[in-house]
Structure 1
Amino acid sequence: SRHSYLPLETLHEALGPYPAGLGRPLAMLVQQYPEYGERIRTGLERLYASAVPRPTGLPAGSGPATELARVLEGSWDAVLAAVPEKAPDLLGKLAASPVGSAKAGAASGTVTPIEWLLENGLLIRLDANHVELPREVGIAARGGLIIPSLPVTPPEPRLNSVRVSLRDNAAFGAVAETLRLVTELLAAAQSEPIATLRTGGVGVREVRRLADSLRVDREQVVWLLELAALARLIALDPDSSRWTAAASGSWHLSERHEQWLQLVRAWLDAERAPSLVGGRLPSGSTVNPLSSEASRTDAPAVRRRALSAALAISTEAANDDGRACVLDASSLIERLTWQQPRLRRRFSRLVPGMVVEMGHLGLLGSGALTDLGGAVAEDRFDDAVEALRDALPEPLTHFMLQADLTAVAPGYLEPQVARELALLASAEGQGPATVYRFSAQSVRRALDTGQDAAAILAFLEKHSATNVPQPLRYLVEDTAARYGSLRVGPAFSYVRSDDDAALTALLADPAAAALGLVRLAPTVVTAQATPAELASALRELGYSPALEGGAEVRQPIRSAGSTPSSSAVRTNPWVLTEEDLEAQMKVLRGSARPGPGGGAESEAMIGLETLRTAIRTKRAVRMGFADSSGNSTRQVFVPLSVHAGRVRVFDPENETERVISVHRIMDVETVEGASTDA
């Protein structure tokens, strides 16, 4: 029998496409991109014209790649002197990570540093959006070292300091503000669930609406959404595709230190990076809040390493003068890179956002590590909770009413009081000392929940530190007096009869309770059923109704041998056809899928296996997927890698690399007879 073998790529997968963070060799790039050799020749002539010495002792028949490698090895300082002003900084960045984003711009009168490097062969363009630094250029930029040397002792950052009292005030204030905003976000999600986009995540319009509702900027709304989702305080309803408050009752009943602990634990263990929201994907689209593109399986490990590094730096710089050292992202990145040099790119991408998040959670205060942060870094959560419980003031149960129809909360209100006050008045401004303004609309909002003027005034008198002003009392009483002059309710049909006794008997019949009957007048009753359904149900009960308007009565379905019974009122008597039954039986037998989601799990596994096989055999695939607009698209790609729910592919038509989320892929098939070395 004929056997086929696939290469074992364990070493390649372990090292990645760019071992030690270096690009591919010049000789390989020249072989794969023949036009690149001509660029190298042109660049060498320009370098020689700029006083860069020619190499000697080149072997006969040496190509441009060998000649450029010899120049870089022996005359790197002279090459740096010949490049444009900002080009050395660019080379230094690419020396740590060889592939960078650089869109091909339109021709202009000036040559940018990146264009100069491309024209002279020190950099190669992979596609319209990416460039690569060759291996020999990267080694030269690292000072001739494959792995840059690191000091034996950790680097000593230049740190400022802040008074411990200011640090603690800033940290505890940030904790109180975060808890208050999360509570307001849950209330907003409860009253109006947060809509999602067809492609996943929350759109700009919803973020703007929440920013106006919470009176914060959009960046803070993104952080609050991600934090609430991480703590499972909001959940995605699969039926409506909207995020709504989940388990908000337990949140409101918890003490503030317990709420803080719930948020911190969720943040520490979350495999997401909220700071990536708003960034650009290789495809050019933006990462939306609560979308899968912000997932990072390495985020928990990086958070704990950042906290440990912050604790180590703070301990080394500690003194007894009542001041604490102020940390910044660059100091943490230097320390983390010294510990794990290969992860520098990962730290540079994730740590700056995590530093900001630590400040929101009180782990940092004014940039300095707090006692809360130190306890969390050492997994001493009980000590952290105890310190926070002692530091935060007790919640208030009172507020101050003013004659201008406003109420001032001088601090953090007890959650139940805050919810009731937010129902009666609209909050203005932000912060712990919030101002609430009463209006006829806000009072009607409370009346809609079933309250009356007496209950509202009783609440105000109980929790107000001042007397209820007369203008506010008049507003509540006058709004309640005018409330309900017109009443609106649902009704689908009605029953009218001159026989008052017959309608009274119908309303008293327990079997008619499912119809939702409401008496509006002595001779009129409304129902929560359509006219046809109501007539069928009444006939089941032994009545003989007449339909007005010529509506058709549809008889309810009965099983064989059944008889009409007053205890079986059917308010939805639809008739099933033979076609409906056959279609349902096909679904149950597995010969038909109920919809696009049918068999999704097995199809996803088959698609991933097809992609992995195509990667090993270097074959192209035809992929069907949903684009950023939700439209179905089919296109031929060359898959390069599959990792963390994302597929990196090469688009041969546009000569660009793309990253596609696995959940957007609908089907994958290998293109027969097509292979590539991409």
Structure 2
Amino acid sequence: MSRTTTFGLTELTAHCARLDDAGLADLLRARPDLLNPTPADMTSLAARAQSEMSLRHLVQHLDAGTLHLLQALNRGESAAAEADSDSAAFLRRAGVLLEVGGELALPANLPHVLENVPAGPSAAPQPGSRPVMAALVENASLAAISELLSEVEDLLTALEESAAATLRTGGVGMRELKRLTVARRGEGTPKDPEVGETGWLIELAAAAGLIEPDADSGRWAPTRLAAQWRRAGRHHRLQLLVSGWLLAPRSPLLLRGPHPSARLAPVLTPERQRGDAPALRDRLLRTAEELTDPKPAELYTLNWPDETEPGPRAFSGPLLEQLAWDRPLLTARTQHVLLPMVREAERLGLLAMGALTAAGRAALEDADRLAAGEPPSSLSAHLEAALPPLVETVHLQSDLTAVATGTLSPGTAQALGQLARKETRGGVPTYRFSADSVRGALEGGWSPEDIRDFLTSHSLSEMPSPLSTLIDDAARTTPSVRMGAAGAWVVEPDPQLRAALLAQPELSALGLRHLSGEVLVCEASAERLRSALRRAGIRTSEPENAPAVTAPGTLSARAAAGGEASAAEPTGTGSSPASAAAWQLTASPWQQSPVRTVTPQMLARNPEVIERALAALRSDGSRTRVSELGNDSALAGADVVGTLREAIRRRRRVRITRAGSGGGEHTVVGIPTAMNAGRLRLRHEGREEESLLLIHRITAVTEKEPSSR
């Protein structure tokens, strides 16, 4: 069977020169890798488009139907284009299928690219997924979000008490993961799934910039951003975690090791770097979005046991089938990481009950806003409206436990954490009082009266007698000298105004608490407390030379009732686009460069990027007449790696131009025999010896005619 005619650089450049702006835009959208860097002229555009690297990028992103057609055309079955006209039209727009001499032609490098490439699924998945109730999906999403925020807070608390040591080889090892698991959960020897959960939280915190290694000791500890994060609203806290997860160039954070069958492995190691992870997460969510319209539907099922590794059918359903059809080659190569990625998206509330959630849609909208140069606000606005309000109350029980009635405000949660040990995690935790916990609170600055006043004001029922007895017993056995830390204080003689101050969420987030009598103390600095009081509409005055804040004024009616402050909210705490942008990462902490991670697909979705590329291609300096191209063998050498691979495969002689360490260039002629790990093995012409060349120093490669004998 005859093969399809092939075309080279001259024909492709002529084709690009004949395209109008709409045709060039279609070409760039179909081949987004050509947008970075922006092509300087038609010749460079065509040279990159026909290179082996660009063709491999295209083939990897073809759906199964178009890949089947391309393989048929490569076999010489030109009639297949008529049977699948839509796929043929895409290949024409992509500059892969041209008409040359009255026949359909393919790029000269394509046969080599298609060698040993499987075709993928033979039939498109049938539409039709089982619908799910939107309310149930939303509830599951919000519950996961509340639990995750609580878990991250507990991890940061554990790391504040004792930072995580780093292995000599890098990363945090199993001993530290187990220690942190016990510190988080307060239990005995942890099981593997619990240790794996700690590893996932550590990776997520690092991806969001909440922890980093100390410059001197290398121990991983909370950053300054972590302190701000703990005081921020829940909608902004999750926004930061989601943006960090989407940008992280890391292998799936829930993966137990470098491959699915491995056991638990250290975290925060260089081996977990994976450059395509952001693109995989984006494709996962966008495919779910395409299948969800117009109503939520069950897109997948997960079967991930805690005690054993997941089996081959652990992840199944329409979502995986659509991924396999849309990108058969990519999905086959990355299917083992899709399962933990789906589980991670569930933990972040982006997926729930097998469906895409409203938070997942909002995260995609924010990604599109960022690609278009607009501030993100969809996710934070959705969460601010959807998350239930914070509560200040608990149920005190006779078994010495306090059960929260919802997600506690930061101040109330912090105070309870000083009085009792958190026994259960999640959005609605349980705290257990003990002699040790109450004694620790007394030693930290609480008085028995303070404890009773706090519990009475925050309990929906009377204080049980066992808890009252526990407080009395702890007070009798605790030394009378008490100490504690405070950054600022407030004197307010009116008990009602003191209660109103303590009920303010923003002041509670600063650690404001009742010390004794008319005095309230705060962990934050006097300047921060002063700013918070002024935003709440409270006049402040200070004694001369005293680093203190007094509040003889009154709260506004709305503030006293626990409503919004009358003054503008500080940057990063409101729901405005500017505030939301303050909590959106534009570069992953794992990146050494400050340049924001932008995938080729993101560039292709940005109209401004397409317009700039068209302007560059249509500029006077980029106009190239086809008649001036002449022989294209030298230009074909612009694809260094592709040309070298072809020369190795066919044992051809090449002329290689290299850049020296001093900046000068020189050439060498020989037959390349192997290429691996960034090095090329070359057998020199005229002498029986080989040398290793660094590929990144090679600037051009051209085939050389055989020498005459």
Q: TM-score, normalised by structure 1?
A: 0.48
Q: Using CA pairs below 8 Å that are at least 6 residues apart, which structure has the higher relative contact order? A: 2
Q: TM-score, normalised by structure 2?
A: 0.46
Larger CA Rg, structure 1 vs 2: 1
